[in-house]
Amino acid sequence: MQNWDEKLNSLQKQGLYRKLKELGQAQKPWTVVDGQKVLLLASNNYLGLTTNSQVIDRTVEVIEEYGTGSGGSRLTTGSYDLHQELEKRLARFKGAEAAIIFNTGYMANLGVLTTIVREGDLILSDQLNHASIIDGCRLSKADVEIYHHADLEELEAKLAESQDYNSRLIVTDGVFSMDGDLAPLPKIVELAKKYNALTMVDDAHGTGVLGEQGGGIVEYFDLKEEIDIQLGTLSKALAAEGGFVAGSELVVDLLRNQARSFIYSTALAPGTIAAALSALDYLESNSDLIIELRKNIRLLKDGLKKLGYQVLDSQSAIIPIMIGSSQQTMQLSSRLLEEQVFVSGIRPPTVPKGSSRIRVTVMTSHTKEDIEFALDKFFKVGKELGII
């Protein structure tokens, strides 16, 4: 007990103690956080589909028909026709032969990385990859080489040096979650071919956002046949929860048979699957949602730059505003919250020391007035704190 206390005290002393913020309403542009009405610029619900009436209606219908829980793991009693249907849809959406659903993106990374590589293999992993990739690498027992963020020369050097390994896997986020930039995927594919390595991309933040159909980074770069493993989530633009892996029939069959995070966990509930299916349906016939999202991204990003903020040039719905010190970052985010603008302050260990930032995310459902409201507040508070 004393030890637990000490751990918490030490976090508090370093300014790294974390507290939950409570949402009291749906993830719409205006919501309620800790009892206060705020403009939400911190959600991954990029296309606003969690509150889309078509998605909700279909989900309610399915719950009435199938009930609430799934009642078992996929390999026992929990595998519904809906799961199969969604897996087929996801495979098509990602341009792959097959797909398999996991309960979260986190579990998908653990499942795939512990199954497709093993002791004696090598994983080459971007320094800024998501924590679930890092944990999957650790659990896989393979050797891991970390290359500096998007550093292709270093990646090539590491590939050239490691040709004695049986099997080598290059793994990268598609859209990097704290910087919002894209992996240099065409070049990674070239290197993988040259050195006979496998490729895996985690496109949690690109799915539903990049590419004309929202297929993600692989559609964006037109690399459909070239990536061995595509991982995505249902939890961000696709308005539900869960993760999935798309790839060859062979790799999906192997995952179904061997991925422990797939086998030993209860299947996602019918309603969750219905929400993801309906989100995909809606997106398929309303791809203008993505165009609207891009307009909002541009409007907010250009506005922030014009105010004098140092905005990273991301190509996704993630807009990082670099501040540097964690104190100033937290000051800015808490002042903005007082002014009814909810953005995330991001500090170490999530990002490297000295690169604390405000992470703004935009949704299709934000109006021009919402974005102007945010820019007004960013101007006021930025001047007040001497940041701009």
Ligand X SMILES: *Cc1c(COP(=O)(O)O)cnc(C)c1O
Q: Which residues have a catalytic role annotated?
A: 177, 205, 236
- Going by the DSSP 8-state scheme, the letter that residue 49 receives in this structure is G
- Contact range with ligand X by CB under 6 A, out of 31-39, 53-61, 100-108, 335-343: 100-108
> What is d(CA 318, CA 236) in angstroms, rounded to the nearest whole number?
12
Among 66, 80, 106, 282, binds ligand X (CB under 6 A): 106
Report the amino acid identity of residue 362: V
Question: Is residue 104 involved in binding ligand X (CB under 6 A)?
Answer: yes
Q: Taken in order 378, 384, 386, 388, is the CA torsion positive or negative?
A: positive
* Near ligand X in 22-81, by CB under 6 A: none
Q: Smaller CB distance to ligand X: residue 95 or 105?
A: 105
> What is d(CA 293, CA 44) in angstroms, rounded to the nearest whole number?
12
Which residue reads 């007082």 in tokens?
Answer: 338
Q: What are phi and psi of 233, to 5 degrees?
A: -125, 155
Among 126, 145, 179, 202, binds ligand X (CB under 6 A): 202
Among 45, 140, 233, 261, binds ligand X (CB under 6 A): 233
CB neighbours of residue 177 within 10 Å: 21
- Contact range with ligand X by CB under 6 A, out of 110-118, 199-207, 340-348, 374-382: 199-207
Write down the least CB distance from residue 205 to ligand X, Å.
5
- Which tokens sit at 181? 């930039």
CB neighbours of residue 226 within 10 Å: 16
> What is d(CA 152, CA 135) in angstroms, rounded to the nearest whole number?
23
Q: What are phi and psi of 108, to 5 degrees?
A: -65, -45
Write down the least CB distance from residue 115 to ligand X, Å.
17
- Contact range with ligand X by CB under 6 A, out of 105-113, 142-150, 279-287, 294-302: 105-113
Mask of contacts with ligand X, 165-184, x by CB under 6 A?
--------x---x-------
Among 70, 140, 235, 272, binds ligand X (CB under 6 A): 235
Which residue reads 């409007």 in tokens?
Answer: 299
Give contact residues for ligand X (rule: CB under 6 A). Answer: 104-106, 109, 130, 132, 173, 177, 202, 204-205, 233, 235, 243
